[in-house]
Amino acid sequence: MHIVTTIAGSDSGGGAGIQADLKTFQELKVFGTSVITALTAQNTLGVSDVLPIEVSFVEKQLQALIEDFSISAVKTGMLFSSEIIQSIAQILAEINIPLIVDPVMIAKGGESLLQQEAIEALRIYLLPLATIVTPNIPEAETLSGRKINSLADIEEVAKVLLQMGVQCVIIKGGHLEDKCYATDYVFFQDGHSFSMKSTRIATKNTHGTGCTFSAALTAFLGRGLPIEEAIMEAKKFIQLAITHDLSIGNGHGPTNHFAYQNFKDSCEVIIHET
């Protein structure tokens, strides 16, 4: 049994954060463990409050897992403060486990999930340790300090992030204007890059898409899949979860974490080597 860990915030509404991660891990047949960094009072309409967990208790959770389990991949989501980022980075630097960093900053409803001053801590302490970083377009702009208006800008921003020491950058295109396709762009340290294109689904039920994508990536890497295969399979997981969405809540509903197991042979992702 492969054991994987998510370090993230709790979403009481169950569509994003720790809950999305553990559901995804379970569906992909890896044993999920968790380190909770913050509690959110949240539903599909938004986040009404955030309660950060004390840094020393975040550390204790992570230490407890490391002492007992042989963990095969770790992901981070909502980390909230620079203190939490520094403390988990210090612990992660001592263990050699594939690390997927989803640089969660702002919830779909606009509420902040990361303090402004913590952005620099992400750049300095966490990104150099990351196997893969998975920013959406606004997160990629914030981390790199550059605007994205074209494919050339995406390539430039990826270069900046690779220079921070990340091994692989996936810039997710959920926020791009393309009405037909949702395209993600993948860049490696050795210069290799490709894009993954899937049909854009017209739905408002996209709460937790980034969390779910990075959790699937963590599960596939944790199971030992080669990195490119893990990335493509994670794209299928999120595509199916968005396509077969559930009618839950009155706002931006969650994706369907059950869909991949039922429909995995019916999903097309177009790969373009660049």
Ligand X SMILES: Nc1ncnc2c1ncn2[C@@H]1O[C@H](COP(=O)(O)OP(=O)(O)OP(=O)(O)O)[C@@H](O)[C@H]1O
Ligand Y SMILES: Cc1ncc(COP(=O)(O)O)c(N)n1
Q: Mark residues 108-147: x for contact with ligand X by CB under 6 A, - for none.
A: x---------------------------x-----------
The answer to the question of residue 174 lying near ligand X (CB under 6 A) is yes
Closest to ligand Y by CB, 40 or 218 = 40
**What is the nearest approach in angstroms of ligand X to the Cβ of residue 161?**
15
Nearest approach in angstroms of CB 98 to ligand X is: 19
The two structure tokens encoding residue 87: 């403390």
The set of long-range contacts for 184-192, using a CB threshold of 8 Å and a minimum separation of 24, is: 184/235, 185/151, 185/154, 185/155, 185/158, 185/274, 186/228, 186/231, 187/155, 187/158, 187/159, 187/162, 189/162
75 in contact with ligand X (CB under 6 A): no
Pull the structure tokens for residue 109.
């409803």
In the annotation, is 172 catalytic? yes
C-alpha Rg value of the chain to the nearest Å: 17
Least distance from ligand Y to the Cβ atom of residue 223, Å: 23
For position 254 contacting ligand X by CB under 6 A, the verdict is: no
Q: Is 179 a catalytic residue?
A: no
Q: Which residues contact 209 (CB under 8 A, 6 or more apart)?
A: 174, 238, 241, 242, 255
Which option in ligand X, ligand Y, none does residue 249 bind, with CB closer than 5 to 8 A by kind? none
Task: List the single partner that 11 binds among ligand X, ligand Y, none, CB under 5 to 8 Å by kind.
Answer: ligand Y
CB 17 within 8 A of CB 8: yes
Q: Is 222 a catalytic residue?
A: no
Catalytic site residues? 172, 206, 208-211
